[in-house]
Amino acid sequence: MSKRTVQVRRVYEDLGRHDDVRVLVDRIWPRGVTKERADLDEWCKDVAPSTELRKWYGHEPKRFEEFTRRYRAELKNQERAEALKHLEDLAKHETLTLLTATKDPDISEAAVLADLIRG
């Protein structure tokens, strides 16, 4: 099986050349972004981390490893697992771009999801 192409980008960035399917994976709509500007194919809130986990994490780099562990555990919940499976299915045929509003997408839920989807 070929490796899936998944990329992580900030929703505030302009549309990329290889953005086949654009999916916002944040639970909260990004501040200051219109639906037109976001140019999304989907908003997959169900895959986002719980509010409690998101607030605990606070995008503190030193907490990323523990955040990843806790978030992967949350992704076993049926609703989140189904949402993750949906993203995996999207990535089978086209480049999947996971979008997040966080300032550092490399330590975001989108980065965790991309690693999981890539296998």
Per residue in 64-108, pLDDT (tens digit) is: 999 999 999 999 999 999 999 999 999 998 999 999 999 999 999
109, 44 contact by CB (below 8 A): no
Per residue in 10-38, pLDDT (tens digit) is: 999 988 778 899 999 999 999 999 999 99
Give the domain ranges of the chain.
Answer: 6-118
Helix (H/G/I), strand (E/B), else coil: 7: strand
51, 27 contact by CB (below 8 A): yes
pLDDT band at 2 (very low <50, low <70, confident <90, very high): low
How far, in Å, CA of 27 to CA of 47, rounded?
Answer: 8
